[in-house]
Structure formats: structure tokens, C-alpha cells
Amino acid sequence: MRAKPIENLGFQTLMVIEHFGRIAQFGVRIVACLVTRPYRFRRLMADVFDAGVLSLPVVCLSGAVVGGTLSLLGYTTLVRFGAEEALGTLVGLSVIRELGPVLTALLVTGRAGSAIAAEIATMVTTEQLDGLRMMSIDPIDFVVSPKALALLLVMPLLVGLFIVFSLMGGYGVAVGLLGVDGGSFTSSLKGAVEFWDDVVGSFSKAITFGGLTGLIATYRGYISEPTAAGVSAATTSTVVIASVSILVFDFFLNGFWGV
Amino acid sequence: MSKPTAQEFRIAFDGVDLRRGERCIFDGLSCGFPRGRISVVLGASGAGKSTLIRMIGGLQKPDSGSIRLAGQDITAFSERELFKIRDRIGMLFQGGALLDSMTVAENVALPLCEHTRLSDADIQAEVNRRLVAVGLAETGHLYPRELSGGMSRRAALARAIVMDPEILLVDEPFSGLDPINVRRIEMLLVDLNQHLDLTLIVTSHHMASSLRMADRLIFMVDGIAIAGSPADLLKSEDERIVEFLNAESDRFAERHELDVTPLLRRRGDA
């Protein structure tokens, strides 16, 4: 009887390890499909549109609001020390190094990642993937790979837009609402941001998060149970697993590589 | 029709077992499907008809036993090996399984675009020919969500036959169709079988069509298959077959004492 909890723990651990193995195998299959013919540019463009263009409003609006909020909060702190001219530095570094890639990845996971998981899971339920298999068409090649690559491609672009709108929002609030001098805001921003450390680091994070979200969303959709509950579980767990993974990867990227 | 020998079977199941949890689907199932003939698989809902078709397509593997297709046991095949086999197989799924992001014409054209080097004009001509054959000439530009269930299934049939397969697996082709389209699809399937020497395996609940078109009936019951010509099965004295074949007769309700009247009474009625 005592062995039961230990047995369960061992079983659960093995299950987790097995899942990691399967995800890695799935990722290798996606890469293999992407580098071999036929290249599916039309499907890729459609998926880029769905994941990228349709995410623009939510990313741009969130970026502007986050930038504005940072300005408001930063100003109340900095003004106590007479350092309000450093507001550009605070907004710029916060957004470029951390908030831009992380928040964009979380937003894209919620909007596009969940949509991709739900779409693939629905295709499982309605036997569309089996239909492809019966036509000797590999569903990973035809459906999964373009979607995973689309998320990888759009993430850095959306992060770039998020950062631009954040800086604009931060500048607008700082200069228009709080009366900070526009010149000192931009000069402190320019002086603080390093191209290689901050901008390249930010886009490295974006690419990592894009790949991660694409892999998790497509994998969860692909292995879903062919039921309505299966679609729901795939969507929910994609958001949960991808969001937690983004935060964990962000920690390690910051901690070990100083990105 | 003389009885086919094991060598003449295009597809043969041998001792196939399949369980889903506690439920036994197939219990040592052994049966064969002759080359160039129409085999109709009958049985109650849940008897495993669709599962049997999925197994022939390699979409589902049995727990044990072998499934031989043209002499090769496909249960041990990898997905890549199955792709080669499936080039020769067309399949109509019960729900159609059309890709909902593509129009009907794009769905039907998909196998041709993927596996042939035909020009766009030739592909278009092939697609139109198949859509006319299933009575959907004017629907190529529509999306699957704009079609009724019966139309979806006919469009899916057009896609299943567009590559001129040697084996056609058809899961419930008549459900949800009006009598005219039942006859149309039935005649199309018989025509395909006769002119293209197609090995046709159909699952159906539609007794009249099944008896008209079948060269061989396979009756699924209790995880096993009872096979024979329609004449053999009509003469059978096996209780399970007799009951299934007579389910549409008036005496069936009497025999099973089926009475739905209590279910229709209003609340409070005596």
C-alpha cells in the first residue's frame, strides 16, 4: 500500500518525460516538413494573415496602453527624486527588454495560439486530418507546419509593433499629459537603449516565444480527443502551457544569457 | 456467383481483435473482400462497421490479428508505407471530412494537385466531371459549410473517386439522402465497380440499396462477421440475421413488445 504514492509519482514523471519526448519528435517532424518539398507558401501566407494581421489591433492597442501606464507610474516615482527626464529610459528599457516580448507572446498565445489549437482539434474531430491521410497527404506537412512557422514569423513583427506603440503611448502620456519635455524623453531613451543587448535580445526572445507557442498550440490540437470536450481541452491547455512556458523561458533567458 | 477463395480476396481480415476499454469491438474477426466486387457491410449501430473500414485504410490498428491488402499485412506498416498503399484507395467518410477552409472544387482537386502534374485546365475538367457525376455541377464555388449533409457527402464522394482508386471504402453513403439521390449514388457506385473494376466496400443501414447492389454481404454481429451472397443471407436461419433483416417489418415491434405510447403521455395523464 505504501508503494502506491511513489508508484503514482513515478508514473506521472514518466508521463511528463514521454510528453516532452513526443513534443520534441513532433517539432523535428515539423522542421523536416518545412525544409522538404513541397513548400506551402499559399497556406503559410493564409496562416500569417490569421495569426499576424488579425492580431494587429489587440497588439497595437495593448502596446499603447502599456506604454502610457508605464509613463504614468514611472513619472510618479521618478518625480520624487527629480529624475523625470529619465522617463524615456524607464519606458524604453522596460518595454524593449521585457514587457514587449513577454506581453506580446502572451497576447498572441491567447488570440492566435488558442485559435490554431482549436482549428486543428476541430479538424481531428471532424476527421479532416484522417481525410488528408487517406489522400496520402501528411497532415503535419499540409496543416501543422505552415501554422507553426506562421507563429514563429509573426511573433518578432508583432513584438516590434508592440514596442513602437508602447513608446508612442509612453511619449504621448509623458509629453501630452504629464508635461515632460519631449526632447529629454527621446534623448534619455536613445542614450539608454543598446542595439545588440536590448533590441537584438528582445527579438531573440520573440523568436523563441513564437517557436514555443507554435509548437505547443499545434501539438495540443493534433493530439486532442475527437470530441467537443477534446477541442475545449486543447484550447485551454494551449493557453495555460504556452503562457507558463513563455514565463519560464523568459526567466532562463534573462538569468543565463542576460537577454 | 461462386465463392471466392482466399487468394481472390483483395482484402482479408484474419483473427482481428479490438477492444475499447471494457468493450469488445472485434473478437477474432475473420472475413474477406473479393477483388472487383461490391461488398456491403451490415450491422447494428456500434457493431464496428466504420472501424472495419478505418482499419482497411490503416487509420486504426487492431490489438492483434492481421489485415492483408493485396497479400501484404498492413498492420505492421509505418505511416510512410501506408501513404504508398493509400494512393490506390479512396475513402468516403461518414461526415464527409471535407476541408472546411477550401471550396468544394478545391477539395475535389486537392489529390490531383498533390499527386499529379496535370495542368490547371485538366484538373478543372476532372473536377467538373466528378461533380457532375455526383449531381453537384453548380456547387464547386461553395464552401462545405454552405452545403447540406447529403451534399457534403456527395462532394466527398467526388473527392474519393477523383484519383480513380482501385479500392473504394464508403462509410454510410446513403444516410441523409433523399430517394432520388440514394438511387443516383447507388447507380454511380455500381457503375464505378463495373467500368473501373473497382473493389468497393460499403457500410450501410439501407437494406433495399444494399440488397440491390451487393455481390457479397458481410453481417457484423458480436464482434465477428457472417459473410455470404445476398441470397445466402436472405435464406439464413441465423436468428441474429433474421432479426436484423426483418427489423423493418410490422411483426418486429410485436415480437419485441416495443411500445412507445407511455413515453408520449403528458405529465399528469393516467
Q: Is A175 part of any domain? A: yes
Spatial distance between the Cα atoms of A103 and A156, rounded to a whole number of angstroms: 12
Alpha-carbon gap: A139 to the closest alpha carbon of chain B (Å)? 11
pLDDT, tens digit (0-9, with 9 covering 90-100), for B78-106? 998 999 999 889 999 988 999 999 999 99
A chain contacts of residue B94, beta-carbon cutoff 8 Å: 127
Cβ atoms of B89 and B199 within 8 Å: the answer is no
Query: CB–CB of B114/B171 below 8 Å?
Result: no
pLDDT at B178: 86
Single-letter residue type at B244: F
Q: Answer whether A49 touches B (CB < 8 Å).
A: no
From chain B residues 85-114, the ones with a CB under 8 A of any chain A CB are 86-87, 89-91, 93-95, 97-101, 110-111, 114
Structural domains present in chain B:
33-58+86-264 (3.40.50.300)
Beta strand B199-203 pairing with B64-69? unpaired
| Cross-chain CB nearest to A136 (options B86, B97, B98) | B86
- Rounded Cα distance, A155 and A244, in Å: 17
B98 and A137 within 8 Å at the Cβ level: the answer is no
B97:A128 CB<8 A:
yes
- Which residues of chain B, if any, have pLDDT below 50? 1-2, 4, 6
pTM, rounded to two decimals: 0.89
Residue A158 covered by a domain: yes
Asked whether the beta carbons of residue A135 and residue B84 sit closer than 8 angstroms, the reply is no
**Residue A8 covered by a domain:** no
Helix B104-115 vs helix B149-161: crossing angle, to nearest 10: 20
B 61-80 → A contacts, CB under 8 A? 79
ipTM: 0.87
List the single best residue of B51, B87, B89, B93 to mutate versus A (max A Cβ within 10 A). Answer: B93
Q: Which of B82, B97, B114 sits opposite A131 (nearest CB)?
A: B97
- Taking residue B179's Cβ as centre, other Cβ atoms within 10 Å add up to 9
Residue A12 lies in a domain: no
Look at residues B177, B130, B129 and name the one whose alpha carbon lies nearest to residue B153.
Answer: B177
Domain with A164 in it = 38-257
Distance from CA of B149 to the nearest CA of A (A): 13
Please report the residues numbered 191 through 220 in chain B whose beta carbons come closer than 8 angstroms to any beta carbon of chain A.
none
**Cα(A158)–Cα(A59) distance, integer angstroms:** 7
Closest residue in A to B156 (Cα) is A131
Q: To which residue does cell 492483434 refer?
A: B64
Contact state of A136 with B110 under an 8 Å Cβ cutoff: no
- Show pLDDT as tens, one digit a residue, over chain A (259 residues): 567 888 999 999 999 899 899 999 999 999 999 999 889 999 999 999 999 999 999 999 999 999 999 999 999 999 888 888 899 999 999 999 999 999 999 999 999 999 999 999 999 999 999 999 999 999 999 999 999 999 999 999 999 999 999 999 999 999 999 998 999 999 999 998 888 888 999 999 999 999 999 999 999 999 999 999 999 999 999 999 999 999 999 999 998 766 5
Distance from CA of B211 to the nearest CA of A (A): 28
Would you say A225 and A123 are in contact if contact means Cβ atoms under 8 Å apart? no
Question: CA A2 to CA B156: how far, in whole Å?
Answer: 56
- Read off φ and ψ for residue B57, nearest 5 degrees: -80, -5
Rg (CA), chain A: 22
Distance from C-alpha of A233 to C-alpha of A256, rounded to nearest angstrom: 33
Tell whether A247 is covered by a domain. Answer: yes
Within a domain: A108: yes
Taking an 8 Å cut-off on Cβ atoms, the answer to whether A127 and B95 are in contact is yes
Judged by CB atoms closer than 8 Å, whether chains meet at B97 and A127 is answered as yes
B87 contacts in chain A (CB < 8 Å): 136
The identity of residue B87, as a single letter, is D
The Cα of B245 is separated from the nearest Cα of chain A by a number of Å equal to: 31
Nearest CA in chain A to B87: A136
Which of helix, strand or coil describes residue A2? coil
Cβ of residue A131 closer than 8 Å to a chain B Cβ? yes
Asked if residue A32 belongs to a domain, the reply is no
How far apart CA A205 and CA A258 sit, in angstroms, is 11
Is some CB atom of chain B closer than 8 A to the CB atom of A7?
no
Candidates A49, A135, A143, A231, partner chain B, best to mutate (most B CBs within 10 A):
A135
Stated length of chain B: 270
Nine-digit cell string for A180: 515632460
Q: Report yes or no: B173 at the A interface, CB cutoff 8 Å.
A: no
Q: Burial code of B114-130, b = ≥16 C-beta within 10 A, e = fewer?
A: eeeeeeeeebeebbeeb
Assess A135–B contact: CB distance below 8 Å, yes or no: yes
β-strand pairing of B216-221 with B9-20? unpaired
Number of domains in chain A: 1
A233 min Cα distance to partner chain B (Å): 21
Going by DSSP bridges, is the β-strand pair B9-20/B64-69 parallel, antiparallel, or unpaired? antiparallel
A21 in any annotated domain? no
CB A231 within 8 A of CB A121: yes
Q: Do B111 and A126 touch (CB under 8 A)?
A: no
Q: Is A138 on the interface with B (CB under 8 A)?
A: yes
Pairs across A and B, CB distance < 8 A: 56
Helices (H) and strands (E) in chain B, counts: 11, 10
